[in-house]
Structure 1
Amino acid sequence: MHVPDGFINTPVSVAAGVAAAAAVAVSLRGARRELDERTAPLAGLVAAFIFAVQMLNFPVAAGTSGHLLGGALAAILVGPYTGVLCVSVVLLMQGILFADGGLTALGVNVLTMSVVTVVVAYAVFRGLLKLLPAGRRPVTVAAFAGALLSVPAAAAAFAALYALGGTTDVPIGKVVTAMVGVHVLIGIGEAAITAATVGAVIAVRPDLVHGARRLTTPLKLRVGGELVDAPAPAAAAPAEDASRSTRTLWLTGLATALVLAGFVSFYASASPDGLEKVAADQGIDSKVEEHAAAGSPLADYSVKDVSDARLSGGLAGVIGVGTTVAVGTGVFWTVRRRRARDLTATSTAAPSAP
């Protein structure tokens, strides 16, 4: 659902860019509370995984395909603020390196595919968790529902922006009906991928899933007829084990992303995605503009001068995963270190007890 240049006029695109920049600024501040030494590198991995899975278009109707948006997955795994940053990093890499999603429409894409999906998905997810009993299955069910609703919400957000600044004269009612209708179907695929991924991570390390923190309650012991918290285990060995387990999860996730982008993506559906199909059918794309990065050596997810389609697409996918995980991890480590400096400065400035 990457919006190209030319669908939305300049004033609305600029306004969307300002709103998106404000959302990213708020998320940078909020992510300081969500990231720690273990989750910062995992956030970079989540961004790379979303990039990889977005290359896997799946068929949803005759002549139409869809792909993961990723806002729900990122918000549940690493937190809503960090989730906005994850998807925004992906969109930035796709726009600059692969000419996917217009550069002047970057604000529109961040608002629809990042901010709206995260806000809607996480609100639905948290709301359902308050109603459902504690457990792994309810978390997965809530993740499914949040992801399912986030996709048509993003489609409705695009329709709203089109109503304000569409460059073609297409009745807004037709745009809303077509966009929401096809993206409800795409949302089913999004929900299945999100629930499966969240469930897999919870099965291995529930303590690393932001949305499943209530599953890792302190161990209780009965002493003298009363329940008390069990004493914390020795610090050295658990810390070492946790680090090793986190490293294993990170390497496994990165290998999975590389395989998906480098090999499985070759078998993705070649049909236009939901937005492309609606734009072509309704005439929204009549004023589409050529991407500013159309001459990029990685444009259209292929490596320039590599004639073999399988090898070209696979190399582009691997490069994309590597670049996204590097940039994402750098951003999240920087945010984490900023939080550490703030905490140090606060503790240093605090007056000592008399």
Structure 2
Amino acid sequence: MSNKVTLTQFIIEQQRGMPGVSGTFTLLLNDIVTACKKISHLVNQGDLIGILGNADSENVQGEVQKKLDIISNEIMVDALKWNGHLAGMASEEEDDLISIPERYPKGKYLALFDPLDGSSNIDLNLTVGSIFSILRCREGVEPEMADFLRRGSEQVCAGFVLYGPSTIMVLTTGQGVNGFTLDQEVGEFYLTHPAMKIPADCSEFAINMSNQRFWEPAVQRYVDECVQGEDGPRGKNFNMRWIASLVAEVYRILTRGGVFMYPYDYKDPTQAGRLRLMYEANPMAFIVEQAGGACSTGRERIMDIRPEDIHQRVPLILGSMNEVERIVAYHREQQQNREK
């Protein structure tokens, strides 16, 4: 292990080539890492310490919170509020922006996070994770909502941590994507997946088939072609996966390719989509694009969207470049047919 590169060493070396980035960025990431280590420990403990099951509360999206949702959010906030590197925070689990207490210094970054993605899996002992995004903030100001509502293309850093058989952090600062595995005995993340790349072609797709009757024609067409396999117009067989955990879906795509779809559907026409732009879609889009993949709503690039609300939802289609482009083309044809 002595020859392995630690996450801290990797970030220090990488930030030397990032204009305008100082050591405070490394310290901020270290605090996020510390929070994720604590969450990883709690996930591994589970029922041994009585933290599984539902809490008697709902989040701003009206979803029933798990006990570990609340605990993970508290861990993340407590790790980041005092360090002097942040001007403010936003969490999927909280209605409003999270201010830095007056007694602590304020920094030049903003952090947005989903402290426990895929928490519906936690009681089943399936994979869950944390997702985070970092933006720059105007220095010397108390951040307002407009400071957070920025396009994904303005992110300084994005990452997620997978709490599975091993704990893995996937990170980008706009210079490619790298994966780090936590050595539980040492308490340190080591570089184990350098320069992760998503192949442009694939033969695997992930979608919740129970919503099939609510899909738009473009998605119906794409999935039908995949299901037909070598007997259909694609001329090859596809496998289907669905884990119901975005971190697990994206990690699988980063390691072997594929496409993930949580498209717009007619099940609830009042919702523009299911996944959160600021806490899920934007950071994952940054990571996927840096790994050579693509990320879209089906109609527009995710990282080009100008946010309107901190808890805004969007459709999400991401993964292997050629498959995402095919799905986008089908949406384009669908729109053209409607306009005829």
Scaled by the length of structure 1, what TM-score is found?
A: 0.24
Structure with max Cα Rg: 1
Scaled by the length of structure 2, what TM-score is found?
A: 0.25
- Which protein has the bigger helix share? 1
Q: Which has the higher contact order (CA 8 A, sep 6+)?
A: 1
